[in-house]
Amino acid sequence: MLQSLITSDPKVMMGKPVVAGTRITVELVLEKLAAGETIEQILSEHPRLTAEGIRAAIAFAAEALRADVVYPLETLAG
């Protein structure tokens, strides 16, 4: 059910996955959550977004990372 809330169209945000009916990318939702914004703060900034849309963005990202791909992380020289 949540998967249908995420769409991708080359004509919208250069094809990046967005919450359906908006131009709000999955990437933006995740960046805001990672920066410490609450769901309530994100919803107040983006009135067309819903809590279900935010959950769908998180589920989409989790599914994308579930693939059998290794993502090497660069270590910072310190």
**Domain architecture of the chain: domains with CATH:** 2-65 (1.10.10.10)
Cβ atoms of 58 and 29 within 8 Å: the answer is yes
The pLDDT > 70 percentage for the chain reads 87
Distance CA 2, CA 11 (A): 22
Place of tokens 């009135």: 47
What's the average model confidence in pLDDT over 39-54? 97
Cβ atoms of 17 and 26 within 8 Å: the answer is yes
Distance CA 44, CA 22 (A): 15
Instruction: Please give the pLDDT value at position 64.
Output: 87
Q: Going by C-beta distance under 8 Å and a sequence separation of 6 or more, which residues neighbour residue 4?
A: 20
Cβ atoms of 8 and 18 within 8 Å: the answer is yes
pTM (2 decimals)? 0.82
